[in-house]
Amino acid sequence: MSASAQKPGGSSAAKGSPGHTGPGKLDKRSRRELARTSALVILAILITLFAVFNLKEVKVSYVFGTGRAPLIIVIVISVLVGIVLAYFAERIPRKRR
C-alpha cells in the first residue's frame, strides 16, 4: 500500500516542470475568482443598503396620470429602461455597417 501511495507522489514530482506552471495559473485564477466574488458580495451589500435607505414613497407623474411608488422601485425601473434604451441605441449603428 505504501508503494502505491508513493507512485502518485513520484508521478507528480516527475511532472513538476509542466505542473509547476499549471498550479501557478490555478493560483492566479483562484485569486481572481476570490477577488471577483468579494467584489460581488460588496456590490450586493451596497445595493441592499441602497434599497433599504430608499424605501420612502414618492409621487410619480406618468404621461397619463400620477401615482405613488417606493423610491427604490422608481430608481430600478429607470435604470432598467436606460439599459434597454442603450442596448437598442448601440445595435442600430451596427446594422447600418
Angle, helices 2-14 vs 16-53, to 10°: value is: 90
12: its cell numbers: 507528480
Under a CB-based contact definition with an 8 Å cutoff, are residues 68 and 60 in contact?
A: yes
Given a cut of 70, is residue 7 above it in pLDDT?
A: no
Q: What does pTM read for this prediction? A: 0.51
Closest CA to 57 of 73, 74, 69: 69
Query: Cα separations (Å) of 66 from 61, 69, 79?
Result: 4, 10, 20
Q: Do residues 66 and 60 lie in contact, with contact meaning Cβ atoms separated by under 8 Å?
A: yes
Helices (H) and strands (E) in the chain, counts: 3, 2
Taking the C-alpha atoms of residue 92 and residue 86, their distance in angstroms, rounded to an integer, is 10
Q: What is the pLDDT of residues 23-77, one digit of tens each?
A: 556 677 788 889 999 999 999 899 888 888 888 999 999 888 999 999 988 888 8
